[in-house]
Amino acid sequence: MSDLTTRDEGATPDHGHSAPEGVNPDDLARPLYEGPGALPAADIPHRPRRSDFDPKAARRAERQVSSLFLLSGLMVVLFIVAYIAISPQAEVYVPLFGVIGAQNFALGLTFGLAIFCIGAGAIQWAKKLMPDVEVVQERHPLASTPHEDVEAEEQYERGKEESGFAQYRTIRRTLITAMVLFPLPLIVLLRDLWSPRGGSLTASPSEFLSTTAWVEGMPIVTDGTYQKLRPEEIPVGGLVSALPEDINEIQEAEHNLNARGKAAIILVRMEPDEIRSQQGEGWDYQGILAYSKICTHVGCPIALYEHRTHHLLCPCHQSTFDLADAGNVIFGPAARRMPQLPIGVNEEGFLVAKAPFAEPVGPSFWERG
């Protein structure tokens, strides 16, 4: 029995199939489904295409399809010619795109057209020349027949019998043990997902995520130029991206950028009376505040600081932090405030960290709670 039931009883006999045995042709004239959302498409009378009855139109369609395929072949030849003939340095002016590389443009254009012409030819062929009949696909229930159910059950029982799975208890138990143990290496390897300090595996990942390179007395240096900073160098309204002084040595020793990624901070200065609250008493230095540069949502580095509103905006998901108010979240998906670094000056007058970060920087993680 065919899955496809044709609906074009009036069309040419070689298109489609006749009604299956035992089915009343009158039933097929009605839509199979008449409930809500029923499509009237099945009732639309079949309208033959011009190419179905006009041999001239059929030949024209044939020519269209074959010339599209030929055009595709020509484009492939042109592609190869362009690859050989056009210098990679040559440039060409294309309206709308401006001056661009001539070879790249020709290669892309010819190859794109080559594949497009194959597709367009195939669609034109299907639309104009291939059999054009309205079909309804019948949907059968997905459940197996009772006979198939019984057969499957019998096969299962026979397999159990023949393998002796039920009979050899030791084999069964050792096999289950082996299968349970097998995924363990994959789980153990997950331990490699963090890089432990000094190659030791004793530090837990949560400890690694909770600590940064900032320690008490660590001088603050500018990012990019690595100059130590004096408080008088930062004006009110100023912004400085900064790092701990020893960041380059740590980076070299660890062969990665993790320490830099966690320790990045920004320094901003506002009038001391503009600071409404801080994460700790006296954690600023004369209005200079140090905050982590890593967004607590998913860890984008952020320094979009508006010095009049004191808002810090993350460009990734628009989390906004108020640096005049202890770095609290005032908008966006971030769930935690921006961690603040307590700062002061050392005896030489340079800005230093007074203590490490009091809370983990960056996005939340499982053990953080």
Partner 1 sequence: MKALAARRRHPAFLALLLLVALLGVGVAYAGLSSTAPAEAVATADQTAIDEGKRLYLEGCSSCHGLNAEGGTAGPTLIGVGAAAVHFQVSTGRMPMGAPGAQAPAKPPDYNEAEVAAMAAYIASLAPGPAIPTAEDLDYSDADVAQGGVLFRINCAQCHQAAGGGGALTQGKHAPSLMKATPQEIYEAMLTGPQNMPVFADGTLPVEDKQAIIAYIVDLQGADSPGGLSLGRLGPVTEGLFLWAGVMLAFVGLAVWIGIKAR
Segment 234-273, which members bind partner 1 (CB under 8 A)? 234-241, 268
Task: Work out how close the CB of 270 gets to partner 1 at its nearest, in angstroms, rounded to a whole number.
Answer: 10
**Interface with partner 1 includes 308 (CB under 8 A)?**
yes
**Binds partner 1 (CB under 8 A): choice among 78, 302, 334, 352:** 302
Q: Is 23 in the site for partner 1 (CB under 8 A)?
A: no
* Residue 90 contacts partner 1 per CB under 8 A: no
Q: Which of 78, 289, 295, 313 binds partner 1 (CB under 8 A)?
A: 313
Output 99 or 190, the one with its CB closest to partner 1.
99
Nearest to 234 by CA among 339, 307, 302: 307
Size of site (CB under 8 A) for partner 1 = 47
- Neighbour-count burial of 295, counting CB atoms closer than 10 A to its CB (0-12 exposed, 13-18 middle, 19+ buried): buried
Out of 261, 301, 333, 356, which residue is the one contacting partner 1 (CB under 8 A)?
301
Asked if 305 touches partner 1 (CB under 8 A), the answer is: yes
Q: 3-class DSSP state for residue 82? A: helix
Mask: binding to partner 1, 135-164, rule CB under 8 A, as x and -?
Answer: ------------------------------
Q: Is 311 in the site for partner 1 (CB under 8 A)?
A: yes
User: DSSP letters of 247-306?
Assistant: HHHHHHHHTSSHHHHHH-EEEEE--GGG--B-SSTT-SBTTEEEEESB-TTT--B--EEE
Output the CA angle 92-96-102, nearest 5 degrees: 20
State yes or no: residue 7 binds partner 1 (CB under 8 A).
no
Q: Does the footprint of partner 1 cover residue 229 (CB under 8 A)?
A: yes
Burial class of residue 231 (count of CB atoms within 10 Å of its CB; 0-12, 13-18, 19+): middle
67 forms beta bridges with: none
Q: Are strands 98-101 and 91-94 parallel, antiparallel or unpaired?
A: antiparallel
Is residue 67 a contact partner of residue 125, using CB atoms and an 8 Å limit? no
Q: Which is nearer to partner 1, 96 or 186 (CB)?
A: 96
Rounded to whole angstroms, the Cα distance separating 369 from 354 reads 26
Counting contacts by CB under 8 A, is residue 131 touching partner 1? Answer: no
In the numeric block, which tokens belong to residue 47? 């309208």
Smallest gap from Cβ 160 to partner 1, in A, equals: 52
Candidates 17, 30, 50, 368: give the one binding partner 1 (CB under 8 A).
50
- Residue 230, interface with partner 1 (CB under 8 A)? yes
Residues 21, 26, 232, 273: which binds partner 1 (CB under 8 A)? 232
Question: Is the CB of residue 320 less than 8 Å from the CB of residue 312?
Answer: yes
Element (H, E) at 222: strand 220-222
Closest to partner 1 by CB, 237 or 272:
237
Interacting residue ranges for partner 1, rule: CB under 8 A = 47, 49-51, 94, 96-100, 123, 127-128, 132, 222-225, 227, 229-230, 232-241, 268, 301-309, 311, 313, 315, 318, 320, 331
